[in-house]
């Protein structure tokens, strides 16, 4: 009786619980000696001066856009938010009758320096108020949920393989426990971790389990073959490259030595700054900041979040500028949805629809883009979206990553003019 492999396709392997490509910690110990040899023969390409970097940040939970970009000249805002509205004299004035949350001083500094752009009223047709569904929609770039890959995963699939059929895992790095859908492609899988120490392989029982799984899925009954089917070669090389990338990350980050400014979110950004400074070949970094599901007691909670968000972003931009790296970096933020316009009985806000997106960097066209949603024309009690989020993605793809947006998004979404080309 022939032995059936656990996985029969690359996609199944990459999404499996022992996905060596996206979790370098599961590299079997018996392959450890081969890693250094592969690294010597095929060193990862360094980043060139023209290599642009995208940092994608999710404000997880649904950020309240109305108390972030405050419409202090609009009466309905104060009528519907008697207890949680930001006062006209308290908000940090921007332009066009809009201001920032008073705790977001870091954002105000970046705005005044011309390094921040705000896209107002962003959403998608037939919005979903579920955290999970809406997050998947933003990650996949497909409100109809026809795609099972991420928009940046598809970018890697189509644009970053070169002559090698195995994309480098280190070209996408996510500071998360689990790999975000946004970076998952049909063949590409990034390296994902919360702490660089998690990338170190610790021999033990799990080592033997990984060894057994790797052999079983390749029908290996003796020594690891030096040649074989395309799938076997793919799996072995992918695992080794993941480990090499993990080693490079740990070497780049070293002793973190980061300050407390911006809290845990700020520390994540400083970790990214260290990896960028180390001249790693990473094209896309992904980070997340949680806590934005403010159903209760929003005033104090959102104030802390705005301070952490602003301080973290400002410190990150200052670090990049000091290292003369900021010209290469674009930061884009999104949240799965905004909040309801009317406050609830618990001093908070419930799940809504449209919300602003933020872009940071010297190459952005600074200021406010698109119109603020009309508070007198609500959709199911929510802000109506005026800008499809795929138009923002299209701008990033065309003007920053230099690819045709329709190849990735599968539709003709006119890119917004958000970047200096």
The residue among 193, 206, 208, 288 whose CA lies nearest residue 245 is 193
- At residue 325 the predicted structure's pLDDT band, cuts being 50, 70 and 90, is very high
Q: Assess whether pLDDT exceeds 90 at residue 44.
A: no
pLDDT at 390 over 50: yes
Choose the weakest-confidence range: 162-166, 223-227, 359-363. Answer: 223-227
Least confidently predicted of 184-198, 311-325, 392-406 = 184-198
Q: Which pair of tokens denotes residue 397? A: 């793809």
Joined tokens for residue 96: 């066009």
222: tokens are: 């003796």
- Give the bridge partners for 308, in sequence order: none
| pLDDT tier for residue 39 given thresholds of 50, 70 and 90 | very low
Instruction: Give the alpha-carbon dihedral of 236, 237, 238, 240, to 10 degrees.
Output: 90
pLDDT for 7 beyond 90? no
Which pLDDT score, from 0 to 100, does residue 250 have?
A: 66
* pLDDT for the residue 294: 98
pLDDT in tens, 354-382: 999 999 999 999 999 999 999 999 999 99
What does pLDDT average to over the chain?
A: 81
pLDDT in tens, 113-150: 999 999 999 999 999 999 999 999 999 999 998 888 99
- Res. 152: pLDDT tops 90: yes
Which is higher by pLDDT, 111 or 257? 111
- The answer to whether residue 77 scores a pLDDT higher than 50 is yes
Q: What is the pLDDT of residue 275?
A: 87
pLDDT exceeds cutoff 50 at 100? yes
pLDDT at 245: 60
Q: Which CATH class is domain 52-202+257-409?
A: alpha beta
**Which of 22-26, 86-90, 225-229, 230-234 has the largest mean confidence?**
86-90
Question: Quick one: tokens of 4?
Answer: 């059936």
Is pLDDT above 80 for 184?
A: yes
* Rounded (10°) angle between helices 105-112 and 298-322: 40
Look at the alpha carbons of 120, 121, 123, 128 in this order and tell me if their dihedral is positive or negative.
Answer: positive
* Structural domain spans, the chain: 52-202+257-409
Two structure tokens written together for 192: 């994902």
Contact by Cβ (8 Å): 195, 268: no
- Residues 157, 139: contact at Cβ < 8 Å? no
Closest C-alpha to 188, from 168, 162, 174: 168
């Amino acid at each position: 009786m022939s032995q059936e492999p656990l996985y029969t396709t690359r996609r199944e392997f990459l999404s499996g619980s022992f996905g060596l490509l996206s979790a370098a910690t599961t590299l079997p110990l018996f392959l450890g000696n081969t890693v250094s040899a592969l690294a010597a023969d095929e060193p990862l390409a360094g980043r060139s001066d023209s290599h642009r970097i995208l940092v994608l940040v999710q404000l997880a939970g649904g950020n309240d856009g109305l108390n972030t970009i405050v419409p202090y000249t609009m009466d309905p805002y104060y009528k519907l938010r008697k207890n949680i509205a930001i006062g006209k004299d308290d908000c940090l004035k921007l332009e066009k009758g809009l201001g920032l949350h008073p705790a977001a001083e870091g954002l105000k500094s970046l705005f005044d320096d011309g390094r921040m752009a705000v896209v107002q009223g962003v959403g998608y047709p037939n919005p979903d108020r579920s955290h999970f569904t809406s997050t998947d929609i933003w990650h996949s770039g497909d409100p109809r949920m026809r795609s099972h890959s991420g928009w940046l995963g598809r970018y890697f699939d189509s644009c970053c393989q070169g002559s090698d059929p195995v994309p480098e895992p280190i070209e996408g790095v996510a500071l998360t426990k689990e790999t975000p859908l946004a970076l998952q492609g049909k063949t590409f899988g990034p390296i994902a971790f919360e702490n660089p120490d998690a990338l170190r392989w610790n021999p033990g029982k799990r080592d033997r389990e990984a060894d057994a799984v790797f052999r079983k899925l390749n029908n290996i009954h003796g020594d690891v073959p030096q040649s074989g089917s395309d799938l076997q070669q793919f799996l072995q090389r992918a695992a080794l490259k993941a480990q090499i990338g993990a080693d490079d990350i740990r070497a780049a980050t070293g002793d973190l030595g980061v300050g407390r400014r911006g809290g845990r979110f700020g520390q994540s950004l400083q970790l990214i700054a260290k990896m960028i400074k180390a001249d790693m070949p990473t094209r896309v970094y992904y980070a997340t900041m949680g806590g934005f599901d403010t159903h209760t007691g929003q005033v104090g909670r959102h104030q802390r979040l705005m301070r952490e968000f602003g301080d973290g972003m400002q410190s990150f931009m200052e670090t990049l500028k000091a290292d003369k790296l900021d010209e290469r970096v674009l930061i884009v933020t999104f949240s799965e949805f905004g909040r309801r316009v009317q406050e609830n009985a618990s001093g908070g806000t419930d799940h809504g629809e449209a919300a602003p997106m933020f872009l940071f960097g010297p190459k952005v066209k600074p200021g406010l883009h698109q119109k603020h949603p009309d508070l007198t024309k609500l959709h199911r009690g929510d802000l109506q979206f005026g800008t499809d989020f795929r138009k923002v993605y299209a701008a990033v793809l065309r003007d920053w990553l230099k690819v045709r947006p329709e190849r990735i998004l599968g539709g003709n979404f006119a890119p917004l003019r958000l970047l200096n080309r």
